[in-house]
Amino acid sequence: MTARTSHDVIGRLGAMVALGLITAGLCLGGAQSAANAALLAVLLSAALILVAANARAEALIALVNRYWLPILAAVCFITYTTATAWIATDDFAPLRDYWHPFWRQFGFDHGAISISPYRTLEGVAALFAPLAAFALGALTIHTREDRRVLSTLVLIFAALFGVLSLYWLLTGVDTRLEAQFGSANAAATTLGVFALLLAARLVRATRKPSDYVLAQPAQLRPLLLPLTAPFTFVVLALTLACLVLTGSRAGILATAAAFVIFGVLVWAPWRRTAGAAQLSRGAIFAVAILAVVLIVSGGQMLFSRLLQVGADAGVRATLLEMHWQIFLQRPLLGHGLNTFHELNAHYLTIATWRDAGDVGSVHNIYVQALEEVGIIGFVLLSLMLAPTMLRAGISAATKSSGSEWAGAAFAAATLALIHGVVDFGLQTPAIAALIMFCLGAFANGAAKRNGSKDQRN
């Protein structure tokens, strides 16, 4: 076995292990508990160490050169949040003035910036899962063949997750599909991400239509595209059906918006020759028809939930107002990473008890991030994500190999950010790891084949 072949095999095995671990985390409730989040982080980090130890030096250098700003932001964020969990004594002057008021309120002679240091350390540990997943994606996917293998893995794991989700719904007591998340909204985010990846695989299949499709009149070819990749189309239909069964209003709307973004990138007139563009548009059209059929035939739950928007909006408004005020108390430093439960309990009042007394998050990832890590941490988080999303968007909008995959990764991250305005999917470790793995694998659209740059579309 040559050195090049050894690197490729180990890289693809690393991608398989990473996606398998992430899917296992999704099937086990998203790794939301502290123990499961830490376990997922440890396993993904171990896989990253093994892959990095066998990676070519030029691959590691390229990773650092390409993502130096997100890497620097991640290091600063981990350093900053870990420092906020340091419990110092009263005679340690440099940090005393920055202690959370909680410590003074109860008369302690020691304190920390975080209201709950152990929760903050748990959050830091959980953060390594999406960070390791991103690095694994970036280190293991280099060639078109790598992407082809990864797309097959995505297909298999999406089918597995969809089948299990239906099984849990049919054998459980829930009326909405929640998988094992305990939240239909988190399930909707996951299914939306899988649906976008499957759509990218379907669009890629239009480059090489089957002989049967090519034998048909040109006007009919776009309508027969599912026959080019029938299993992909079936799994996509399963995934979208599961998405409808979640009854998640915001999740479905965010997925629709993400598909519009993906469709615009795929449909862009500068992307392809006329024939290929017609087939790609046909694939998007087929997905759109499928989505409409599923919503019309099985969307009774969704329509009934739309009637409850007013009541749910009132609860969301109470949470937003309450936690925005908590953020304003410490806007620069925040109250500590991963301390929502302590903050929610500490600042509850008689007026907010009914709506906020038994919730698991702010239902807005931006307000929750601001109150936990402050403006400093929020800026660092933005610098970790924004450059990578920008790279994916540029790769998707230009003529480069794998631009459909870059578009799907960009749209998946956008889906989570849109849905995060009213829900919390991106805060679930396994969901964040899935999205970051896809960004790492697909953001850099151009790829090599047989050691040379592949410039074909």
**Distance separating alpha carbons of residues 357 and 377, to the nearest angstrom:** 27
- State the amino acid at position 382 in one-letter form: S
**Distance separating alpha carbons of residues 120 and 87, to the nearest angstrom:** 12
Q: Which tens digit of pLDDT belongs to each residue from 402-417?
A: 888 999 999 999 999 9
Average pLDDT, the chain: 84
Q: What is the mean pLDDT of residues 158-168?
A: 95
Query: Which run of H or E residues covers position 453?
Result: strand 452-454
The pLDDT score that the predictor gives to residue 65 is 93
The pLDDT score that the predictor gives to residue 452 is 42
Q: How many residues does the chain have?
A: 457
The pLDDT score that the predictor gives to residue 2 is 45
Q: Which tens digit of pLDDT belongs to each residue from 5-29?
A: 666 778 889 999 999 999 999 999 9
The pLDDT score that the predictor gives to residue 214 is 56
- pLDDT beyond 90 at 173: no
Closest among 452, 453, 437, 457 to 396, alpha carbons compared: 457
Q: Is 449 helix (H, G, I), strand (E, B) or coil?
A: strand
Task: Give the list of residues 6+ apart from residue 124 with CB closer than 8 angstroms, or none.
Answer: 78, 81, 82, 85, 337, 338
Is the pTM higher than 0.75? The answer reads: yes
- Measure Cα distances from 253 to 5, 200, 202, 352 in Å: 44, 19, 22, 28
The pLDDT score that the predictor gives to residue 57 is 87
Contact 243, 251 (CB under 8 A): yes
| Phi/psi of residue 454, nearest 5 degrees | -95, 115
| Alpha carbons within 13 A on the beta-carbon side of 88 | 18
Locate 148 and state its tokens.
């082809």
The residue ranking higher by pLDDT, 150 or 110, is 150
**Distance separating alpha carbons of residues 155 and 231, to the nearest angstrom:** 9
Q: Is 25 helix (H, G, I), strand (E, B) or coil?
A: helix
**Distance separating alpha carbons of residues 82 and 107, to the nearest angstrom:** 24
- pLDDT beyond 90 at 48: yes
The pLDDT score that the predictor gives to residue 105 is 78
Task: Give the list of residues 6+ apart from residue 298 with CB closer than 8 angstroms, or none.
Answer: 241, 244, 245
**Distance separating alpha carbons of residues 226 and 203, to the nearest angstrom:** 10
Q: Which tens digit of pLDDT belongs to each residue from 180-236?
A: 998 999 999 999 999 999 999 888 877 665 555 555 555 555 555 666 677 888 899
DSSP of 181-214: TT-HHHHHHHHHHHHHHHHHHHHHHTTS--HHHH
The pLDDT score that the predictor gives to residue 276 is 47
Q: What is the mean pLDDT of residues 92-102?
A: 76
- Measure Cα distances from 314 to 131, 311, 325, 354, 457 in Å: 35, 5, 17, 11, 49
- Measure Cα distances from 82 to 39, 78, 111, 129, 298 in Å: 19, 6, 14, 16, 47
Which range, of 5-14, 121-130, 146-155, 334-343, averages the lowest pLDDT? 5-14
The residue ranking higher by pLDDT, 58 or 312, is 58
- Measure Cα distances from 167 to 161, 177, 178, 183, 242 in Å: 10, 10, 11, 16, 11
**Distance separating alpha carbons of residues 200 and 208, to the nearest angstrom:** 14
What ranges do the domains of the chain cover? 3-312+354-446
Contact 185, 305 (CB under 8 A): no
Q: What is the mean pLDDT of residues 91-95?
A: 64
Q: What percent of the chain has pLDDT over 90?
A: 50
**Distance separating alpha carbons of residues 379 and 333, to the nearest angstrom:** 11
Q: Which tens digit of pLDDT belongs to each residue from 299-348?
A: 566 666 655 665 567 778 888 999 999 999 999 999 999 999 999 888 88
Contact 50, 93 (CB under 8 A): no
- pLDDT beyond 90 at 283: no
Locate 37 and state its tokens.
């989040």
The residue ranking higher by pLDDT, 396 or 27, is 27
Q: What is the mean pLDDT of residues 91-119?
A: 81
Q: What is the mean pLDDT of residues 281-286?
A: 63
Taking the CB of residue 77, how many other CB atoms lie within 10 A of it?
A: 23
The pLDDT score that the predictor gives to residue 226 is 61
